[in-house]
Amino acid sequence: MHSERTTDLSILYSNLKSHPTNQEYVVLIKTGSMNPIHRCHISNMIRTKQYLERVHNFNVIGGYISPTHDEYVHGKLRHELINGQHRIEMCRKAIEEAGQQHWLSVDMAECMAPQFIDLASVTYSLQMFINQTLNLPKPVRVIYVAGLDLFNRCRGMTSLRRSPLGGVAVVYRPGQDDRFITSTHVQDGSNVFYVCANDDDMDTSGSESDDISSTLIRERYKNNQNCEHLTFKSVLDHMKIVSSKKN
């Protein structure tokens, strides 16, 4: 599924060259509708990178945002679907506006696949592509970034946690129950990394304290309400292009 056509590895090569280390190399991946992408999608990736490097001594050499296939998003949102190519472009613009293009990129493999692929398969495919292409002496670990709500719905994402070259980084989300993730049987030796809300050493200057959702953005955008505190100006500008083509 993944190839040089769908997935830009230049950020990995660049960061491997500029930050050589004996630490374990890690790449992050986040999937989702991104309909549209919002500020928390980006800030959660940044927070996860900071946490994994500071607490677990990983070297995060890159991160990928992977918009989900149109088939799935249409089934979920129907007429509110934003075409995959537009969602890819909005993700690119969000990364650039946030100034994170030195380590974040858009992974197009999932969106360009012939049909919907589940998140675990997307993650394994990326892991295989990266390691086969880079062919480093020590394999790169690929960690899936999930919100606490998704982690709870998937009952801990067991398959992703079992892979020795995988793992799940779970980012706290307001209003979500974290008793499951903080339970001993989930935490102990299970490749789960909890980026919780009360981490005093975490730099949250680029993150949002409010709970943000794409649904809220679509509702406010439809009602001509300000959304720049929820997503990026470049994303909103692109949504205008999408809207004009629909009308």
pLDDT tens-digit readout, 87-96: 999 999 999 9
Query: 210 or 135: which carries more pLDDT confidence?
Result: 135
**CATH number 3.30.930.10 is the correct assignment for the domain at 10-246:** no
**CB of 240 closer than 8 Å to CB of 222:** no
| Mean pLDDT value of segment 65-74 | 97
Residue-level pLDDT at 185: 61
User: Is the model's pLDDT at 217 over the cut of 90?
Assistant: yes
Contact (Cβ atoms closer than 8 angstroms) between residue 140 and residue 131: yes
Kindly tell me the sign of the dihedral angle through the C-alpha atoms of 52, 58, 62, 67: negative
Q: Would you list the domain boundaries of the chain?
A: 10-246
Element (H, E) at 30: strand 25-32
| Average of per-residue pLDDT across 18-39 | 94
pLDDT band, residue 112 (cuts 50/70/90): very high
Check pLDDT > 90 for residue 20.
no
**172-184 pLDDT tens trace:** 998 899 998 888 5
pLDDT band at 199 (very low <50, low <70, confident <90, very high): low
Q: What is the pTM of this model?
A: 0.93
